[in-house]
Amino acid sequence: MAQLQLTSLIFVSIFAISSSSFIQPPHPFDPLTETELKLIRNVIKKTYPIGPKHRFTFQYVGLNEPDKSLVLSWHSSPHHSAKLPPRQAFIIARENGRTREIVVDFSSRAIVSDKIHVGNGNPMLTTDEQEAATSLVLKYKPFRESIRKRGLNILEVVARPQRWDGSVTEFKDRFMAPLPKANGTEFCISELKPPFGPALQNAVVLQPNGPGFKIDGHIVRWANWEFHISFDVRAGLVISLASIFDMDMNKYRQVLYKGHLSEMFVPYMDPSADWYFINYLDCGEFGCGQCAVSLEPYTDCPAGAVFMDGIFAGQDGTHTKISNVMCIFEKFAGDIMWRHTETEVPGLEITEVRPDVSLVARMVTTVGNYDYIVDYEFKPSGSIKVEVGLTGVLEVKPVEYVHTSEIKEDDIHGTIVADNTVGVNHDHFITFRLDLDIDGTDNSFIRNELVTKRAPKSAHIPRKSYWTTKRKIAKTEADARVKLGLKAEELVVVNPNRRTKHGNEVGYRLFPGPSSGPLLTQDDYPQIRGAFTNYDVWITLYNKSEVWASGLYADRSQGDDTLAVWSQRNREIEEKDIVMWYTVGFHHVPCQEDFPTMPTLTSGFELRPANFFEQNPVLETELIKLTTTPKCTPTTN
Amino acid sequence: MAQLQLTSLIFVSIFAISSSSFIQPPHPFDPLTETELKLIRNVIKKTYPIGPKHRFTFQYVGLNEPDKSLVLSWHSSPHHSAKLPPRQAFIIARENGRTREIVVDFSSRAIVSDKIHVGNGNPMLTTDEQEAATSLVLKYKPFRESIRKRGLNILEVVARPQRWDGSVTEFKDRFMAPLPKANGTEFCISELKPPFGPALQNAVVLQPNGPGFKIDGHIVRWANWEFHISFDVRAGLVISLASIFDMDMNKYRQVLYKGHLSEMFVPYMDPSADWYFINYLDCGEFGCGQCAVSLEPYTDCPAGAVFMDGIFAGQDGTHTKISNVMCIFEKFAGDIMWRHTETEVPGLEITEVRPDVSLVARMVTTVGNYDYIVDYEFKPSGSIKVEVGLTGVLEVKPVEYVHTSEIKEDDIHGTIVADNTVGVNHDHFITFRLDLDIDGTDNSFIRNELVTKRAPKSAHIPRKSYWTTKRKIAKTEADARVKLGLKAEELVVVNPNRRTKHGNEVGYRLFPGPSSGPLLTQDDYPQIRGAFTNYDVWITLYNKSEVWASGLYADRSQGDDTLAVWSQRNREIEEKDIVMWYTVGFHHVPCQEDFPTMPTLTSGFELRPANFFEQNPVLETELIKLTTTPKCTPTTN
């Protein structure tokens, strides 16, 4: 693979621009509509000429997040009767080589802010740019010649942009490697030959009384949960204003103001000239929403799933759509919500069991070769589980070897997964931004360390030790940088002004899943740009502008605008509006099972109420029975 | 609660002993049948008088595990035509205060071995003994008087045996505590009052072509898996001879010779006179099989589940039964087995998705207050996931406080979860014995450390670092003691004599879940007895007698026969028949949500093929569609 530096081209699709009038949408977090995108384009056209002859491109168009206090006062007003916050769009555009940050206000239909970005880094690559980059390579004569030399078909060659300059500044055809054969790489069932298997049996799911959830616009209501679901071209699926109904208090209580994917950092571990630069910041460079896929009913999401589209602006500002980009479904996994069999009371046997059900909001983003399944799972017990599933195909490199015994180098930086094919070692770091508001905005982060104590010496008591909890409040951002696994501690976000009737601070506790931290050195440029992975958990003071862990401009970034840099300000975070950042990390040494497609590997974390409720919130949930219905005939739709 | 020391009583139920003739069962791992249990009793009666007037009790009766080499040669013979290993029973009995280890051979219908146990520790407490202990307390006059003084109803008092002596040797009525009221402790839906909720919708699961698994005696076949499922009074559910069909090789390949729960260690963290001794070894003291519960269809196990009974010997040697003690079901959780959307090849868009299905074998053991859900999940991809769910009710103590502000002690060793009620801090350590045979018995344990390297200095390459794998073979048991989370390493069990066609050693990799190690000091008696939790992962040389991590005699054990002691022998384990021990650990600081019943908290681990197959083993699995069937009417059976 030759390394290339690519020029940014301007593509313009031809659209008829209708200046249809704009209707105020019902919810401040609703994604921008087709009508709003048209309005934005029309407003900007008044100031900047848009069209084939002009160098103006829309790199990012999204909701300009309204002021949090305005949203909260609207949300807490009876029947949301209070005034809605002003609705605005935030646009990052490139205009004659400059990067502009433009805010368009919908009520005044005007640009209310227009700045030129002067720092490091470039905005997200648009789909057009990514395609342009590829086609530029494929059109580039010396490259075509090198492909011809290898006897390959240029139509089967794929290139993925790595950097973003002005033209092809450099071209190297360094060496010829025996190219892996295609055999064994087919994964389309239509192309595969028998025998098939392992054989699995079909199943039918029916909800006789319909689904348990209701969707009103972008608001989802299910069991005791209510939340808003939205789509952003960089983050993909966004959960907002998630709150849970408390039966004792007879009201909804805030848990998560906003939660979404912030960045995915994928550095590869081959330092050679052809690979050292392969370190992706997937969301910041390519857009985890932009790369999200249309989900297939019954396979990507089970029976009963409801789907939602994703609408966003293309490079020319006209709207594009990914249909079925998100799905919502109830999960009946055969788990047990809670149970107890009481046998100790003489002459009395009690068995009470509640089967578990949860609600999942899912997206899948396919950034190049990998497919990332991102699930936000809500449980009636109050838990929010976030799960990331890794699947798709490996990023591989050609080698002369077909067998480990032939290896001459001291390190091939991966595993031979097929003839002449090495799956290269790499990491996946998936960072989530979780703006928790536990029963209100003023929260604290508690590190409850479990410490061993010596038991008091006693003639009658042989016991020598026990553990107890040592409560430490994180006063500043530095106190809240956590590397998991180093000590026994509970991590809890509490509202110090809200206590249960027994005096315990209401809170939500983080239950981390298995995770892996970075192994690159701190002076290495990929890690400087990916420094937001230096800790598994961070807490920062809420700041409207601190949303993307890799910085607002991740492409070609220098690491001067990352979560790690913001945390260096070491702001006070006790009894403040705070944001949790959690990174799900994987080290991936490929194995042959990962080829040509990889069985899903999953990790994640759980946020679980801890003294948030006065007692088990699902104690009084009524029994559902997941029955069979032998008589009915499935209709495969 | 007053501490009591209790006497062992002999209970004898009256049974007619039929000497029905004995039929050789088909599989060497099949649990003992009712007929076999009768035979055992008859054989032993010839030597030891059994009956009300004699002090002979059956403490443990189980299969005397046949010689592994005999089982394997039988299992690998065409159509299992080779001779079956001799079938025998292993009995632990108490006879006039002595503990005997008796082996009964079924073909010769004779005692072939009879030893007296001379070391420390007692056998498992029988159900009769546990009930006798309780009733002894309740009959004990000074105790009844102390209950009366408190104005309580003796019929509502529960006692749990802690130690096992000869008689009530000591009685202390230390203090009166305000007893928690019963209000808020009810968890039976029939007794609870509206409003109920959160409300959940029912669902129906139908498999139009029937379930995907077949059960032949105790052998389960599903997708590409085959395994034997059995029941032991101490371990509960036992998986044996799990092997997976390899389509390339057109044969079944061994993965897990035997896997089961070995011990559950639950130490409490209150060192006071009334609590310091509350440190359970649940399987060794009470029997995790003996305490297993009858599973309820549709709630404990979903629709389509198949149930199996557990048969074992009571204290008098006659058989008892727990019906539906195990269930097997297919899990359709809405997960994705693998997927990929290919968009990079110009003019070509491919989406292939395979929904995931797995097979779960489940038991629930309720040892006193806690209910443990133990799932063995098999995936077509070759993964075996083991999951433990904690639910049930907290072990609580009465206090004078109803609010944290009233607390006078410096440490109440727990959380106020209700009026006058403290949920006491404790741990749960659930230890599994996994006799892995990866493609044969001679395996090695590899610790693949991920180490950071400096990148070679180069003018053209700015990259400064990368990680690579440093492969370390565990030569001895000491090399294989692992504390998780201390460094980045992959833990793999390989068969060094079997390689893929690309030369990679075939293996299975351990993917640990979140886990917590012990915090008690090494000189503390509960930790000396629970020393098998000192590491998260151990590898030992296979030894037929090393099955129970806490030792064969866990009750009143001194820690001289634990996994930690066996590992001290530091045997060579390279290219040997080895056994993996894995502990799932939880620190539990109770919160109010855990009261009165606790929403299930889950952890576990996954064993995943790593270069075991030549490629993704589910690449060619055919698509199943989890359809809806809007027309049918569910029959709630």
pLDDT in tens, B616-637: 999 999 888 766 654 555 444 3
| Burial (0-12, 13-18, 19+ Cβ within 10 Å), B81 | exposed
What's A396's domain CATH number? 2.70.98.20
> Per the CB < 8 Å rule, is B597 touching A619?
yes
Residues in chain B within 8 Å Cβ distance of A274: none
Range list of H helices, A49-110: 68-76
| Option in B296, B334, B598 nearest A301 (CB) | B334
pLDDT tens digits, B220-232: 999 999 999 999 9
What is the distance between the alpha carbons of residues B110 and A396, in angstroms, rounded to a whole number? 64
Query: What's the pLDDT score for residue B52?
Result: 73
Residues in chain B within 8 Å Cβ distance of A610: 591, 593
Interface test with A, best of B201, B221, B450, B529 (most A CBs within 10 A): B201
| Option in A329, A504, A525 nearest B592 (CB) | A504
> Per the CB < 8 Å rule, is A209 touching B201?
yes
Distances (CA, A) of B16 to B127, B315, B323, B345: 21, 16, 22, 77
* Residue in B closest to A427 by C-alpha: B467
What single DSSP character describes residue B619? T
What is the distance between the alpha carbons of residues A1 and A359, in angstroms, rounded to a whole number? 44
> Bridge partners of A568?
none
Sign of CA dihedral A36, A38, A39, A43: positive
Per annotation, catalytic residue among A60, A280, A370, A401: A370
What is the distance between the alpha carbons of residues B449 and B601, in angstroms, rounded to a whole number? 31
Has residue B8 got a pLDDT over 70?
no
Has residue B4 got a pLDDT over 60?
no
Q: Chain A: nearest CA to B130, how far in angstroms? A: 10
Instruction: Select, from the ranges B131-135, B464-468, B513-517, the one with the highest average predicted confidence (pLDDT).
Output: B464-468
Residues in chain A within 8 Å Cβ distance of B380: 198, 200
Q: Chain A: nearest CA to B490, how far in angstroms? A: 9
pLDDT tens digits, B411-432: 999 999 999 999 999 999 999 9
Task: Produce one character per residue of A144-175: b if its CB has 16 or more CB atoms within 10 Å, e if not.
Answer: eebbeeeeeeeeebebbbbebeeebeeeeeee
Average pLDDT over residues B174-183: 83
Residues in chain B within 8 Å Cβ distance of A392: 339-340
Query: What's the pLDDT score for residue B110?
Result: 98
> Per the CB < 8 Å rule, is B418 touching A356?
no
A293 in any annotated domain: yes
Number of helical (H) and strand (E) elements in chain A, helices listed first: 7, 31
Residues in chain B within 8 Å Cβ distance of A606: none
Has residue B569 got a pLDDT over 80?
yes
Query: What's the pLDDT score for residue B1?
Result: 32
Query: What's the pLDDT score for residue B344?
Result: 79
Query: In this structure, what token pair is assigned to residue B482?
Result: 């692992």
| Burial (0-12, 13-18, 19+ Cβ within 10 Å), A177 | middle
Contact A447, A489 (CB under 8 A): yes
A154 in any annotated domain: no
B315 in any annotated domain: yes
Query: In this structure, what token pair is assigned to residue A496?
Result: 């110090």
| Option in B393, B521, B635 nearest A631 (CB) | B635
Query: In this structure, what token pair is assigned to residue B58?
Result: 């059956």
Residues in chain A within 8 Å Cβ distance of B621: 196-200
Which residue reads 């390459």 in tokens? B461
Ranking A126-135, B272-281, B533-542 by mean pLDDT, the lowest is: A126-135
> Per the CB < 8 Å rule, is A200 touching B416?
no
Largest interatomic CA distance in chain A: 92
Contact A618, A380 (CB under 8 A): yes
Residues in chain B within 8 Å Cβ distance of A466: 269-271, 413, 425, 520
What is the distance between the alpha carbons of residues A591 and A423, in angstroms, rounded to a whole number? 8
Contact B87, B107 (CB under 8 A): yes
pLDDT tens digits, B372-411: 999 999 999 999 999 999 999 999 999 999 999 999 999 9
| Burial (0-12, 13-18, 19+ Cβ within 10 Å), B13 | exposed
Query: What's the pLDDT score for residue A626?
Result: 65
* Residue in A closest to B276 by C-alpha: A463
A536 in any annotated domain: yes
Residues 6+ apart with CB under 8 A from A190: none
Domain around A205: 9-125+198-628
| Option in B334, B468, B625 nearest A636 (CB) | B625
What is the distance between the alpha carbons of residues B568 and A256, in angstroms, rounded to a whole number? 50
Interface test with A, best of B328, B468, B631 (most A CBs within 10 A): B468
User: Which parts of B546-616 are beta strand (E)?
Assistant: 576-588, 598-610
Terminal Cα distance for chain B, rounded: 44
Residues in chain A within 8 Å Cβ distance of B339: 299-300, 364, 371, 373, 391-392, 597, 600
Query: In this structure, what token pair is assigned to residue A22?
Result: 């704009």
> Per the CB < 8 Å rule, is B634 touching A618?
no
Per annotation, catalytic residue among A232, A282, A435, A536: A282
Query: What's the pLDDT score for residue B629?
Result: 53
Residue A46 CA, distance from chain mean position: 36
Average pLDDT over residues B529-556: 98
What is the distance between the alpha carbons of residues B328 and B306, in angstroms, rounded to a whole number? 5
Query: Catalytic: A372?
Result: no
Q: Chain A: nearest CA to B12, how far in angstroms? A: 19
Contact B444, B472 (CB under 8 A): no
Output the CA torsion A435→A439→A440→A445 (10° steps). Answer: -60
A192 in any annotated domain: no
Sign of CA dihedral A454, A456, A459, A461: negative
* Residue in B closest to A631 by C-alpha: B632
Query: In this structure, what token pair is assigned to residue A495?
Result: 């509202």
What is the distance between the alpha carbons of residues B530 and B537, in angstroms, rounded to a whole number? 14
Query: In this structure, what token pair is assigned to residue B635?
Result: 């029959």
Average pLDDT over residues B357-363: 97
A302 in any annotated domain: yes
| Burial (0-12, 13-18, 19+ Cβ within 10 Å), B79 | exposed
A159 in any annotated domain: no
> Per the CB < 8 Å rule, is B521 touching A464?
yes
Q: Which residues of chain A have pLDDT under 70?
A: 1-25, 162-166, 625-637
Number of C-beta neighbours around residue A88 at 10 A: 19
**pLDDT grade for B20, boundaries at 50, 70 and 90:** very low
| Option in A381, A490, A632 nearest B632 (CB) | A632
Residues 6+ apart with CB under 8 A from A436: A255, A256, A257, A443, A493, A508, A578, A579, A580, A607
Residues in chain A within 8 Å Cβ distance of B277: 463
pLDDT tens digits, B310-342: 999 999 999 999 999 999 999 999 999 999 999
* Residue in B closest to A636 by C-alpha: B627
Q: Chain A: nearest CA to B602, how far in angstroms? A: 10
Residues 6+ apart with CB under 8 A from A297: A305, A307, A324
pLDDT tens digits, B41-94: 999 999 999 877 778 999 999 999 999 999 999 999 998 889 999 999 999 999
Has residue B292 got a pLDDT over 50?
yes
Query: In this structure, what token pair is assigned to residue A144?
Result: 């075509």
Has residue B10 got a pLDDT over 70?
no
| Option in B340, B350, B592 nearest A614 (CB) | B592
- DSSP H or E segment with residue B435: strand B426-436
Average pLDDT over residues B485-506: 97
Contact A271, B456 (CB under 8 A): yes
* Residue in A closest to B199 by C-alpha: A223
If DSSP codes are grouped into helix, strand and coil, which group holds residue A296?
coil
Number of C-beta neighbours around residue A349 at 10 A: 11
What is the distance between the alpha carbons of residues A177 and A175, in angstroms, rounded to a whole number? 6
Which residue reads 């994987």 in tokens? A586
Largest interatomic CA distance in chain B: 92
- Helices B141-149 and B127-139 pack at an angle, to 10 degrees, of 60
Counted domains in chain B: 1
Q: Chain B: nearest CA to A100, how far in angstroms? A: 29
Output the CA torsion A121→A127→A133→A135 (10° steps). Answer: 180
> Per the CB < 8 Å rule, is B391 touching A340?
yes
What is the distance between the alpha carbons of residues B536 and B431, in angstroms, rounded to a whole number? 9
What is the distance between the alpha carbons of residues B445 and B187, in angstroms, rounded to a whole number? 47
A597 in any annotated domain: yes
What single string gives the DSSP state of each residue in B362-398? EEEEEETTEEEEEEEEE-TTS-EEEEEEEEE---EEE
| Option in A156, A196, A469 nearest B620 (CB) | A196
Query: Catalytic: A370?
Result: yes
Closest by CA to A188, choosing from B612, B338, B335, is B338
